[in-house]
Amino acid sequence: MLKPIPPTQRERNRYLAFEAISDSPLKRDEIIRAIQNSCLNFLGELGTSKTGLWLMDWDAKTKKGILKVTHKTVDEVRASMALVKEINRQSCIIRVLGVSGTVKKAREKFIS
C-alpha cells in the first residue's frame, strides 16, 4: 500500500471565484472548454498543465463558479480568463470575483 504524501510536499491550491457575464445561459462544459482553450492559447500546453485547472463548482442560474488552480499560477490563470470574449459564438466575459485559500471561504465571501 502506498504512503500518503505529507502536507509539506503537497501542491498548494487557490480557489478563484468568478462570474460569467453573458445574455445566454451557459452550461458547465461550455465554461470548462472556454477557460481551457483560453489557457492553452495564452500559456501553451506546458503552462496549462502546470496550472492544475479544475472547476470545483458552477451555478448556471447565477453564472458563478469556483476554479481550483495551483498557488504559483493564479496570476496566469486570471490573465487567461480575462481573455475570454465569447462562448459558443455568444459574447461573454469572465470576471474574477476573488481568490481564496479554501473552497469554503471562497463560497462565503464571493458566491453567497
Structurally, how many domains does the chain consist of? 1
The answer to the question of residue 23 being in a domain is: yes
The answer to the question of residue 6 being in a domain is: no
Which amino acid, residue 56? Answer: M
φ and ψ of 92, to 5 deg? -160, 140
pLDDT digits (tens, 9 = 90+) for 73-88: 999 999 999 999 999 9
The answer to the question of residue 57 being in a domain is: yes
Chain centroid to Cα 52, Å, comes to 10
Helices (H) then strands (E): counts for the chain: 3, 5
The answer to the question of residue 7 being in a domain is: no
The CATH code of the domain that includes 71 is 3.30.70.3250
β-bridge partners, 19? 64, 95
pTM equals: 0.90
The answer to the question of residue 2 being in a domain is: no
pLDDT digits (tens, 9 = 90+) for 44-98: 999 999 999 999 999 999 999 999 999 999 999 999 999 999 999 999 999 999 9
